[in-house]
Structure 1
């Protein structure tokens, strides 16, 4: 019974974590594009939905299939990934201030 509750909590967390990761990646791509790619190559900026579409395309192309891991381990890895994305956006922002 305890294992079932743990698996259910892990699945519910993943239902929240996956869209949150996509949103953070999309915002990060949109911001980094505007900070670095647009000025460097003189191209127009990306809107949110364009960056969201690119994020979905890259997620689809980069999907290597499902791995059979514990849901609590996967949830932990998802949290680490979200934190890493936020840190990368902050580093990009700091670099954009120096450019």
Structure 2
């Protein structure tokens, strides 16, 4: 219900803080694409690699901002991000 309310809200910035964590990966992707289609700023707090892969920019936090860039940039420039991605891949996490 909260996702639906946020989607119809006229807000220019939407923050989804683990809002899709209880959805299956396909439903999560549909929800994120629906918000992205609004043409507003979407901030997604997520722990799934799939969300990072869909994002035009990824911000890596570890007590402070450690890196920002695309998924591909961060794989090459951020040891922390590359390590996190490695854990996701090893665990088979979507």
Shorter-chain TM range is: under 0.3
Higher helix fraction: Structure 1 or Structure 2? 1
Larger Rg: 1
Query: TM-score by structure 1 length?
Result: 0.25
Query: TM-score by structure 2 length?
Result: 0.26
Higher relative contact order by CA 8 Å / sep ≥ 6: 1 or 2? 1
Higher strand fraction: Structure 1 or Structure 2? 2
